[in-house]
Structure 1
Amino acid sequence: MTFSLQKQFKQPKGILGWIIGKVMEIDNRKINKWSIKKMPIRRGDHILEIGYGPGYCIHKIIQKYPGCTVDGVDISSTMKDAAGQKNKDAIKKGKVHLIVEDISTFKLDDERYDHIFSVNNYPLWSDPKKALSHLYHMLKPGGTLVITVQPRGDEERDSRARSYGEQISNELEQAGFTNIAISYKKVRPSLTVSVTCTK
C-alpha cells in the first residue's frame, strides 16, 4: 500500500491519483505562493511550470498576471485532466498550454521562457542533470529558474532540506546557471528550501 501511494505521488493515475492531486494542492499552497513570489513576473512574460499537478500555480499566475502565458509539463495525464478543468478558460484563450512528458526528455530548441519553476517534484526527476541542461537552453538570457523542495515522509527533517539546497545549487552551477541563491521557509510539516538562479 505504501509503495502504491509513493507511485501515485510520483505519477498520479485514476481516481486515487485525482485525490492525491487535491491533497498536494492543499499541502503545497503556502510553498506554491512563496515560489511564485520569487519570480519577477511582468506583463507578457512566458512561464514554464514543471510538475503542474492539479494546476493551482498556473491558475494563480493567470489570475494575477493575465497578460502572461503559462506552459506546464507533468508526467501524469490524470493531472493534465485536473489542471485542464481548473484552467479551461485560459486554455481556450491560448494563455495556458499543458503537456504530458518527463521533464528529462522534454526539450525545445528555442529560448522561449522568461521564468521556469518547479515545486516539490525535483526529487522525482528521472535525470536531473539532463533536465537542467534542457531548462538552461529553454530559458531566455537573464531569465529566472526557481526550484522548491519540501522533504516529505522518511526525509521529513531540516537537515534533508539543507542537503537538497546544496545538491540543487551544485547541479545548477554545473548546468551553467548563475546568481544562485538558497532560501529556507519553515512550513509544516518540515523546513522547505527554494533555490533561485538566472541564466
Structure 2
Amino acid sequence: MTRVINDMREICPISEETADLLRSVTKRRLFPKKYQLIKEGTYTKFAYFIEKGLTRSFWLVDGKEVTTSFAGRGIVFSMDELYYNKASEEFVETIEEVEAYEIEVSCLLRLWETNIELSNWGRIIHQNEYRRLHRSHKELLTLSAKERYEQMKLQFPEVCMRANLGDIASYLGITLSTLSRIRANK
C-alpha cells in the first residue's frame, strides 16, 4: 500500500498512525484484466485503493458501452452506493491487471467521519474529481474532437498510452474511426 499512502500524502498530510489504521482495515487484492470491480445494478459494498493498474468506468446505453472515466492509482468506488445507498449506475472494469486494496464502504464512511486526515483527503479528491468532470463537460461542449483528444493527451498521458483506443474514443464522445483519423494527422 506504499504507493497509495504516498499518493495520499501528496494531496494532504497523512500521519503514520492514520496510514497504519488504513493498512489495518484494507485487504490486498489482485484482479485480472477485464474484471468487473463494480457492476451496474448491484451493491458492491467495497471501494478500492488502486496501487497499480488501470480501470475504466462505463455505462451501457442501448447495448453500447459509453466510457465515463479512467482511473489509475487512487480510489475507485460506486458514487451511487457511497453517497446515496443506491445500486451502482455504472460498471467499473480493469483494463489491465490491477493491484488494489479493498475496504468496505461502511468502513470508509466511518473513517471519513472519525479521522480528520482521511476526511480532508476524501474532500480534496472529490474536489479534484468535480473539477475534472467540469472541465470534461466544458471541453465536450466547446472543443472540436481533435482539441478534446489533444487535451486528453496533456491531462492523462498514461491513459492515452495504456487504454484501448475504442474506450478513449467513447470517453471523448467520438467514433473510433474519427479518433484514428485524428491520430493519423498528428
Band of TM-score, shorter chain = under 0.3
1 or 2, which has the higher helix percentage? 2
Question: Normalised by the size of structure 2, how large is the TM-score?
Answer: 0.27
Larger radius of gyration: 2
Question: Normalised by the size of structure 1, how large is the TM-score?
Answer: 0.25
Greater relative CO, 1 or 2 (CA 8 Å, sep 6+): 2
